[in-house]
């Protein structure tokens, strides 16, 4: 049973389209995250939600909008996709606190053409 | 601020060689420290962690010791295998506990 699952695994789409990536965790964690990994493997935090409330919103274009319908889900919607949005997007979850670890999904490889 | 600096790769080693990947951190308070591993085409997996100074995390032959005096958490393995080829990330979580800070990742390739 997958702990953090995100769909789809691959997403190829044209510039200007709107797309969503879904994430679900079955670990009962209270915090969920979205990370973007570029071609050099650099991981950048995009958003963090704690108990459905946004707590971290790094400098990302406002074309990116996270939505957390409940504690177990954190979806990422992207409007007006651009070539530079091509990357691997990872969802993760954890408990709040020091004695914790982040569990990652398998990633969604987004290619904008 | 909070940040993690790890040695740049890529690193290429022969099988059974000794591995060290350096990691230093800057943090307010007393963070927990982690090493994550990412195999090709997969998400990140926790490799080991340490939650306080002088703790040693270990897993699958890998070790790292939390050194507060040098603000370091270097990853070591005595004898690497081809199956260890992956990207390794050093990370910390600060004591407010809501954000992980990752290093830039170090790619390791082990050749037979």
Collect all residues of chain A within an 8 Å Cβ-Cβ radius of residue B93: 98, 100
Percent of chain B with pLDDT over 70: 97
- Taking an 8 Å cut-off on Cβ atoms, the answer to whether B95 and A48 are in contact is no
pLDDT in tens, chain A (113 residues): 679 999 999 999 999 999 999 999 999 999 999 999 999 899 999 999 988 888 777 788 999 999 999 999 999 999 999 999 999 999 999 988 777 889 999 999 999 99
Instruction: Give yes or no for residue B8 having a pLDDT over 80.
Output: yes
Q: Which two tokens stand for residue A98?
A: 């020091």
Q: Which residue has the higher pLDDT, B99 or B58?
A: B58
Nearest 10 degrees: CA dihedral of A77, A56, A58, A48?
Answer: -40
Q: CB contact, 8 Å: A5 with chain B?
A: no
Per-residue pLDDT at B6 exceeds 70: yes
Q: Is A53 on the interface with B (CB under 8 A)?
A: no
Sign of CA dihedral B13, A43, B38, B50: positive
Which residues, including other chains, have CB under 8 Å from residue B84's CB and lie 6 or more apart? Answer: B19, B77, B108, B110
Checking DSSP bridges between strand A64-70 and strand A19-25, what pairing results, if any? Answer: unpaired
Asked if residue B95 has pLDDT above 70, the reply is no
CB atoms within 10 A of CB B90: 29
pLDDT band at B30 (very low <50, low <70, confident <90, very high): confident
Note the pLDDT of residue B102: 93
| Best CA proximity match to A33, nearest among B102, B89, B87, B99 | B99
Average pLDDT (B59-78) is 97
* pLDDT given for residue B28 in this prediction: 80
- How many beta-carbon pairs below 8 A join chains A and B? 62
């Amino acid at each position: 049973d997958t702990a953090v699952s995100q769909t789809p695994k691959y997403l190829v789409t044209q510039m200007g389209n709107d797309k969503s990536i879904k994430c679900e965790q079955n670990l009962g964690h209270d915090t969920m995250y979205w990370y973007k990994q570029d071609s050099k493997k650099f991981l950048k935090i995009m958003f963090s939600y704690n108990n459905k409330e946004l707590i971290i919103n790094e400098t990302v274009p406002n074309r990116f909008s996270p939505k957390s319908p409940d504690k177990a889900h954190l979806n990422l919607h992207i409007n007006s996709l651009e070539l530079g949005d091509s990357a691997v997007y990872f969802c993760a979850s954890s408990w709040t606190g020091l004695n914790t670890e982040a569990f990652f999904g398998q990633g969604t490889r987004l290619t904008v053409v | 601020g909070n940040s993690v600096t790890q040695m740049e790769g890529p690193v290429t080693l022969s099988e059974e060689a000794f591995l060290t990947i350096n990691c230093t951190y800057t943090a307010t308070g007393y963070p927990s420290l982690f090493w994550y591993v990412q195999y090709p085409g997969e998400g990140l997996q926790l490799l080991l962690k340490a939650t306080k100074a002088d703790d040693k995390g270990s897993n699958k032959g890998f070790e790292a010791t939390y050194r507060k005096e040098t603000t370091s958490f270097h990853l070591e393995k005595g004898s690497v295998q081809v199956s260890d080829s992956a990207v390794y990330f050093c990370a910390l979580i600060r004591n407010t506990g809501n954000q992980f800070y990752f290093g830039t990742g170090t790619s390791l390739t082990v050749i037979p």
